[in-house]
């Protein structure tokens, strides 16, 4: 049994919420909750908590379609509960009524938060936006320009990818997971591959772990460069937006040279690696990655010294460490408010020897700190990439290590934070799949950060998180 | 961004010089993409490829657009917004399917959630294959529309 052996616990419905909350209280990270038909007319509800590198699945039966809700103890479960309710009607007692999340009732009263008072009105934006942006809808409750509350309505792009995976072989499921999101393609697929391998009792060898880590950090680099550029666009700083758009493109060219694709599609397989790029290509990529880092840090310093940029970013969209913890936010957005978890410190199926997360120079929890976190994470990611590009070994397939258990859990620090995946296999076919991405965890944070700010700052606050719609909608 | 960086970026992109005449306004709609096509369309409009050099501008409203660039496999939930965006465009108007999903190649997802290829919803006359098409390919395909001298069908 490895350090990441999965524990399964079946508890009585009345004990469910307390058990999950206690596991989180004891230092575990909440990794999602879902509900599935139990095949006998009822439903089973299951929550994931990961303590260090040890995953725990707590399951219970929903009696008369209801289990006690977790929200009071565990704010991070709110969207999971609403999704579970929309998908199969399970109710979470104490947290009702459940505002629809995945479901899209036509009547706004059914899905918006009631906000009333003198001069309160609503501003509806989307699903189609003015720029080249993914589809999603925001309903702002405002007085004048001041935002009182935002209802985020996503799932316009819901493609039913998880449901489509049921009955597929693990390799067919991988193609569906890749389609979830281009910008997180590696993270999502590695989390999924890890979950399948864990369910099959397979363990990746060091060369495979290194190859996946290389792809994950390449993905982080182009995403972080993109995010800084997007934030510049959000404040109308064209010079920064253009500079970082170009740096991102340079990294995507590196992706193509190293992984054969600008978004690294095709670089992850279940139970195996892919053929590495040849030595000359890797040497050239290494030099380019180092050059991109140097240019990125120079350009970032210029932005920091731009008074207009500073003024727009500082103090805008502030979230305190307590709010971050309450909502269970993850990734650079969480680390911008204070020390917060980075899944790379507990990834035995990857290759992060001696890793410790970059710290925010000033953990002010505002737009400035969130963008600064991206800049702070570029040098360590570059170092990992440069190291791993020097590696020659072609990965061997994952080896059988334990008896197949039928259910497996995977987790990965994506560019947006920890992404988890739970896969159930039956006779070699997928019986259940749940992918909970860093973006899914963080959308409630976008809405919270906007409260009290003015409407024109919302695009900037939104871009300081730069979350995906696609890998939430699935 | 310094002018010399810009020049270097454009050399890397390796695009031809702009042609002489014509312009088209583009409006993008994400009908259910994985966001890959959006990233590449943004890059095509970015510093290296700079679509605007070729007279191709991304505009904020369908009211100002000649071409509707659609990405993604059309989801049930995006069907109405997509139709509304198309209906809001002035005539003559063209629809471009950007990427393999919009072209209906290897659609992935649950049948309950997908409408089907874009072609079943709107009249597609420009086809830009790829998953996603690279910024060069996007730029080349759209330049082709201008070069053809008339807003007519291109591609296969
Ligand atoms: S064509 Fe490829 S990149 Fe474009 S939306 Fe579809 S899956 Fe994503």
Which residue, A243, A249, A352, is CA-closest to A297? Answer: A243
pLDDT at B17: 67
Nearest to B58 among A132, A163, A245 (CB): A132
The tens digit of pLDDT for each residue in A154-186 reads 999 999 999 999 999 999 999 999 999 999 999
DSSP class of residue B119 equals G
Tokens standing for A198? Answer: 């864990």
Which residues of A fall within a CB distance of 8 Å from B28? 132
Which residue, A354, A351, A328, is CA-closest to A341? Answer: A328
- Let me know: does A10 contact A59? Beta carbons within 8 Å: yes
Distance between Cα A474 and ligand 1 center (Å)? 13
pLDDT at A109: 87
**Within 10 A of A411 (CB to CB), how many other CB atoms are there?**
28
The residue whose CB lies within 8 Å of the most ligand 1 atoms, and thus the one to mutate among B34, B69, B105, B106, is B34
The tens digit of pLDDT for each residue in B27-53 reads 999 999 999 999 999 999 998 888 888
> If you count residue pairs, one on A and one on B, with CB atoms under 8 Å apart, how many are there?
131
Residue A139 has pLDDT above 80, yes or no: yes
Check CB contact under 8 Å for B132 and A182.
Answer: yes
Rg (CA), chain B: 15
Question: What is the complex's ipTM, to 2 decimals?
Answer: 0.92
Domains of chain A, with CATH numbers? 7-93 (3.30.460.80), 161-437 (1.10.645.10)
Which residues of B fall within a CB distance of 8 Å from A242? 1, 6, 46-47
Check CB contact under 8 Å for B1 and A183.
Answer: no
How far is A321 from A340, CA to CA, in rounded Å? 9
Check CB contact under 8 Å for A243 and B131.
Answer: no
- Let me know: does A235 contact A309? Beta carbons within 8 Å: yes
The residue whose CB lies within 8 Å of the most ligand 1 atoms, and thus the one to mutate among A182, A183, A184, A265, is A182
Which residue, A83, A100, A103, A102, is CA-closest to A33? Answer: A83
Mean pLDDT on A225-254: 94
Would you call B83 an interface residue with chain A, using a CB distance cutoff of 8 Å? no
The tens digit of pLDDT for each residue in A203-235 reads 999 999 999 999 999 999 999 999 999 999 989
Which residue, A313, A341, A340, is CA-closest to A449? Answer: A313
pLDDT at A249: 96
Burial of A325 (0-12, 13-18, 19+ CB in 10 A): middle
pLDDT at B149: 65
The tens digit of pLDDT for each residue in A57-102 reads 999 998 788 899 999 889 999 999 999 999 999 999 889 888 999 9
Which residues of B fall within a CB distance of 8 Å from A179? 34, 108-109
Chain mean pLDDT for chain A:
93
Residue A55 has pLDDT above 60, yes or no: yes
Ligand 1 atom with the smallest distance to the CA of B105 is: 1
How far is A272 from A197, CA to CA, in rounded Å? 10
pLDDT at A97: 87
pLDDT at A114: 87
pLDDT at A340: 76
pLDDT at B154: 41
- Ligand 1 in contact with B131 (CB < 6 A)? yes
Check CB contact under 8 Å for A159 and B114.
Answer: yes
Tokens standing for B22? Answer: 């014509």
DSSP class of residue B45 equals T
Which residues lie below 8 Å from residue A408, measured CB to CB, with a gap of 6+? A6, A194, A195, A196, A197, A198, A199, A200, A422, A423, A425
A-contacting residues in B 96-115 (Cβ below 8 Å): 108-110, 112-114
How far is A112 from A152, CA to CA, in rounded Å? 9
Which residues lie below 8 Å from residue A364, measured CB to CB, with a gap of 6+? A314, A315, A318, A336, A337
Which residue, A260, A160, A195, is CA-closest to A474? Answer: A160
Check CB contact under 8 Å for A156 and B109.
Answer: no
How large a percentage of chain A has pLDDT more than 90?
77
How far is A106 from A400, CA to CA, in rounded Å? 50
pTM for this predicted structure: 0.94
How far is B33 from A361, CA to CA, in rounded Å? 36
Check CB contact under 8 Å for A157 and B110.
Answer: no
- Let me know: does A129 contact A119? Beta carbons within 8 Å: no
Check CB contact under 8 Å for A265 and B131.
Answer: yes
Which residue, A442, A441, A326, A447, is CA-closest to A32? Answer: A441
Rg (CA), chain A: 22
Residue B75 has pLDDT above 90, yes or no: yes
Distance between Cα A158 and ligand 1 center (Å)? 14
- What interhelical angle do B3-13 and A238-259 show, nearest 10? 30
Coil, helix or strand at residue B9: helix
Question: Which backbone phi and psi does B81 adopt, to 5 degrees?
Answer: -55, -40
- Ligand 1 in contact with B109 (CB < 6 A)? no
Domains of chain B, with CATH numbers? 22-148 (3.40.50.12280)
Lowest-confidence region among A413-422, B100-109, B141-150: B141-150
């Amino acid at each position: 049994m490895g350090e990441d052996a999965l524990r399964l616990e079946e508890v009585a419905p009345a004990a469910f919420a307390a058990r999950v909350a206690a596991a989180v209280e004891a230092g575990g990270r909440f990794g999602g909750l879902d509900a599935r038909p139990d095949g006998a007319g009822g439903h089973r509800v299951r929550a994931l908590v990961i303590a260090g590198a040890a995953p725990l699945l707590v399951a219970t039966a929903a009696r008369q379609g209801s289990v006690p809700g977790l929200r009071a103890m565990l704010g991070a479960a709110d969207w999971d509960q609403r999704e579970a309710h929309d998908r199969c009607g399970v109710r979470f007692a104490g947290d009702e009524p459940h505002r629809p999340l995945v479901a899209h009732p036509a009547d706004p009263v059914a899905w918006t938060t009631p906000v009333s008072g003198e001069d309160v009105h609503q501003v509806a934006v989307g699903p189609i936006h003015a720029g080249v942006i993914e589809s999603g809808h925001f309903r702002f409750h405002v007085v004048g320009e001041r935002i009182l509350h935002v209802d985020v309505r996503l799932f316009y792009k819901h493609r039913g990818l998880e449901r489509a995976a049921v009955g597929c072989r693990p390799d067919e499921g991988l193609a569906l997971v890749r389609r979830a999101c281009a910008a997180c393609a590696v993270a999502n697929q590695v989390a999924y591959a890890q979950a399948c391998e864990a369910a099959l009792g397979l363990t990746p060898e060091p060369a495979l772990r290194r190859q996946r880590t290389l792809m994950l950090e390449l993905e982080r680099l182009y995403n972080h460069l993109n995010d800084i550029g997007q934030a510049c666009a959000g404040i109308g700083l064209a010079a920064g937006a253009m500079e970082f758009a170009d740096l991102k493109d340079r990294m995507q060219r590196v992706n193509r040279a190293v992984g054969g694709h600008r978004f690294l599609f095709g670089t992850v397989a279940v139970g195996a690696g892919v053929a590495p790029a040849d030595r000359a290509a890797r040497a050239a990529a290494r030099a380019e990655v180092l050059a991109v880092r140097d240019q990125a840090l120079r350009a970032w310093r210029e932005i920091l010294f731009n008074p207009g940029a500073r003024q727009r970013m500082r103090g805008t969209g502030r979230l305190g460490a307590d709010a971050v913890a309450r909502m269970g936010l993850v990734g650079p957005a969480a680390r911008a408010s204070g020390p917060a978890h980075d899944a790379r410190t507990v990834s035995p199926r990857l290759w992060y020897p001696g890793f410790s997360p970059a710290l925010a120079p000033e953990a002010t929890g505002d737009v400035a700190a969130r963008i600064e976190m991206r800049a702070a994470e570029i040098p360590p990611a570059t170092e990992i990439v440069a190291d791993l590009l020097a590696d020659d070994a072609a990965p061997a397939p994952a080896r059988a290590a334990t008896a197949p258990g039928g259910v497996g859990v995977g987790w990965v620090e994506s560019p947006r934070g920890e992404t988890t995946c739970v896969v159930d296999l039956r006779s070699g076919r997928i019986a259940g799949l749940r992918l909970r991405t860093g973006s899914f965890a963080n959308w409630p944070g976008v809405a919270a950060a906007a409260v009290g700010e003015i409407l024109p700052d919302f695009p900037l606050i939104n871009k300081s998180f730069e979350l995906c719609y696609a890998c939430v909608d699935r | 961004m310094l002018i010399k960086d810009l020049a270097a970026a454009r050399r890397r992109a390796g695009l031809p010089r702009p042609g002489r005449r014509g312009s088209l306004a583009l409006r993008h709609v994400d009908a259910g993409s994985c966001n890959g096509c959006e990233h590449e369309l943004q890059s095509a409009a970015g510093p290296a490829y700079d679509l605007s050099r070729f007279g191709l501008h991304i505009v904020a409203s369908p009211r100002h657009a000649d071409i509707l660039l659609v990405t993604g496999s059309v989801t049930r939930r995006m069907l109405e917004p997509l139709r509304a965006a198309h209906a809001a465009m002035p005539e003559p108007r063209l629809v471009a399917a950007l990427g393999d999903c919009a072209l209906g190649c290897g659609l992935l997802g649950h049948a309950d959630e997908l409408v089907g290829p874009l072609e079943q919803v709107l009249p597609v006359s420009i086809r830009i294959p790829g998953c996603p098409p690279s910024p060069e390919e996007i730029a080349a395909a759209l330049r082709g529309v201008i070069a053809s001298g008339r807003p007519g069908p291109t591609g296969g």
